[in-house]
Copies of this chain bind each other. A is one copy, B any other.
Amino acid sequence: MKRQAYLKLLPLDDALNLMLATFSASPLTPERIPLNQARGRTLAENAVARVSSPAFHGAAMDGVAVIAETTFGASERRPKTLRVGSEAHWVNTGRPLPAGANAVIMVEDLTPGQTADGKETVAIEKAAFPWQHVRKLGEDLVATESVLPPGTVIGAYELGALGAAGLLEPLVFRHPLVDVIPSGSELMPLAEAGPDRLAAGDKLPEFNSLVLSALVEDLGGLAAAKAIVPDEPELIRAAILNSVRGPADLVVINAGSSAGSHDYTAGIISQLGELLFHGICLMPGKPTALGRVEGKPVLGIPGYPVSAVIAFEELGQALLAHWQNRTRPQRPQATARPFAALPSRPGLEEFIRVKLGRVEDNLIAVPLPRGAGTVTSLSRADGIIRVPAPTEGLPADQPTPVSLIRTPNEIEGALLAIGSHDNALDLADSFLRHRFPGYRLTSAHLGSLGGLMALKAGRCHLAGSHLLGPDGVYNSAAVAEHLPERPVKMVRLADREQGLILPPGNPSGLHTLADLARPGVTFINRQRGSGTRVLLDWQLKQLGLSPDDLQGYENEEYTHMNVAAAVAGGRASAGLGVRAAATALGLSFIPVGVEEYDLVIPLSYWADPRIKALLEVITSSEFKAAVAALGGYDLTANGVIR
């Protein structure tokens, strides 16, 4: 079978319109279901009240029901006595008035008594006006009135309105049924993907079908995740045919739609039916394909998780919404300033996942990793910036629209930390959220110097930093140099052991930084501006070594953990980083020194309640115990303020 080149890249809107036009008719037969099963379903009718609510004139207070006219003339000086049972009738809140009654007098305004012959009476000192304390028939709803329009998603409030209207069996769309077919010989079922099996390194765990099923359910659908189909055209063809001939309304085949040699989906769709498009101007998500097979839509979406999500949200969810005559849940919009320029390939509309923080009235957007394989760029994102197809990207700091994944309140409660990466910051976020719901710590890892520069530009609330100065003191010199006009405090988070991160058992027998210059040793470095890089360069200088003496000096990673991963995966035979990263991956570690890790906080935020909360959290004994358990931290100086 020949490889399938992209037919033509369609703009996203064109793809959407073509899809909606082709599959305009909804296959979702409406059905009547009991109201107590209707939560989350979508109304298929203009719901019209069967009964009025309330269906009778009822008491709005506990007291007696009367004919108002019979009370006229009552006053403090001339109270009027009403006979219970004929002129006045006890009635409780919510109960119907007796026929003819048109007012209620509150129990508080009644003086009980009795007639000479022992019959119960009540005396009143004020006349009732007609319809006082009466909940009138139809006050909320009149029978035949429209209650809710079609396309309404039924939630708590709607259940109340339908219940009040006597609509005990609303007409709703049946659940859309979606088959999700994962395809690819490189995949194994998630249930088999235990740590041992993953460590074997032969297959990737298949979790996209779980994610796609949740996206189907978010739109009121029911998803069937099918078995993984290997990269064999016959098997893929059979799986598609099996699904389109089954109950599914929409068939999603995941992976197999890019233009690689094993990407058969588009070709198979062409053979089995009609290929509507293959390739859209969307990143991630470009290789998306859509066809019609035996009358049903077959959507081929790429295998990388972020591509799969974005393609399914933009197309699959749109189709499910259309069939149910409802709108897709839409994210609130805001205006953010990109922290850095966001270059993007012209001709593709790019969805960039960003972290967000409100700093000095500006919403700052820090981009997350842009690879289509980084599913955490979705779970960690606060928002998404769409870079329009015609542009080459967005300049830094230019106000730009962003769709919010978190609620505006969550974003306003976030402290944006930019700077050096430390595992303890993730812990601080956990502890902060737990102790102060509504607050969170959002961090972006741009190195110590990157953090100070962000503080200088007013683009973060605080910066984690461990920059060794020429005087051998941490952070003071760098702060003095880069933030001369911005008074700050430095709060010690911890002292950390830095050292050589080595494969388990230290097979190359390295013992000092000088050993990195030995032939055959490959090093993995941190990026320029990181505290670890500064430490390395300082130490190399002390040893009389130059960067050229280290093989791999030019290969950079952005976090301690990624340095450790590079060593664990055999990309390098040594790196420099904190002990916690080595411990985490079961690697060997040889200390080369202890460094001071400070949180640098501008005085202007010192009184901010979120900063106060953070400082309370990071100096708590629970937090310190949790950090100590990571290994390689000395918390003696924790909380020291300079």
Contact = CB atoms under 8 A, between A and B. Distances in A.
Contacts of A187: 94
A405 B156 CA distance: 12
Interface in A100-138: 102, 107, 130-131, 135-138
Given A146-B423, A201-B55, A407-B330, A571 B131 contact: yes
A332 B58 contact: no
A504 interface: no
Interface in A59-116: 60-62, 92-96, 99, 102, 107
A303 B150 contact: no
A143 B561 CA distance: 9
Interface stretch (A210-218, A271-279, A453-461, A490-498): A210-218
Interface stretch (A192-200, A473-481, A598-606, A610-618): A192-200
Nearest to A441: B149
Interface string A189-209: 011011100110110110110
Interface string A151-181: 1000111111101101010000000000000
Given A138-B561, A199-B51, A430-B146, A438 B160 contact: no
Given A325-B434, A427-B146, A433-B151, A205 B164 contact: yes
A532 to B, nearest CB: 16
A160 B571 contact: no
A166 B194 contact: yes
Given A39-B217, A161-B379, A262-B92, A140 B190 contact: no
Contacts of A374: 139-140
B56 A143 contact: no
Contacts of A207: 35, 159-160, 163-164
A57 interface: yes
A159 B376 contact: no
Contacts of A215: 156
A46 interface: yes
A136 B322 CA distance: 40
With a 10 A CB-CB cut-off, give which of A191, A258, A369, A569 has the most chain B CB atoms. Answer: A569
Interface of A: 35-36, 39, 46, 50-58, 60-62, 92-96, 99, 102, 107, 130-131, 135-151, 155-161, 163-164, 166, 168, 184-187, 190-191, 193-195, 198-199, 201-202, 204-205, 207-208, 210-212, 214-215, 217-218, 231, 258, 260-262, 303, 305, 309, 321-322, 325-327, 329-333, 369, 371, 373-381, 405, 407-410, 423, 426-427, 429-430, 433-434, 437-438, 440, 555, 559, 561-562, 564-566, 568-571, 584-585
29 contacts: A50-B195, A52-B568, A54-B204, A55-B201, A62-B261, A92-B186, A94-B186, A96-B201, A135-B371, A136-B569, A136-B571, A138-B561, A138-B566, A140-B371, A142-B565, A143-B584, A143-B585, A144-B584, A146-B430, A150-B433, A156-B215, A160-B378, A163-B210, A163-B375, A166-B195, A321-B437, A325-B434, A325-B437, A332-B407
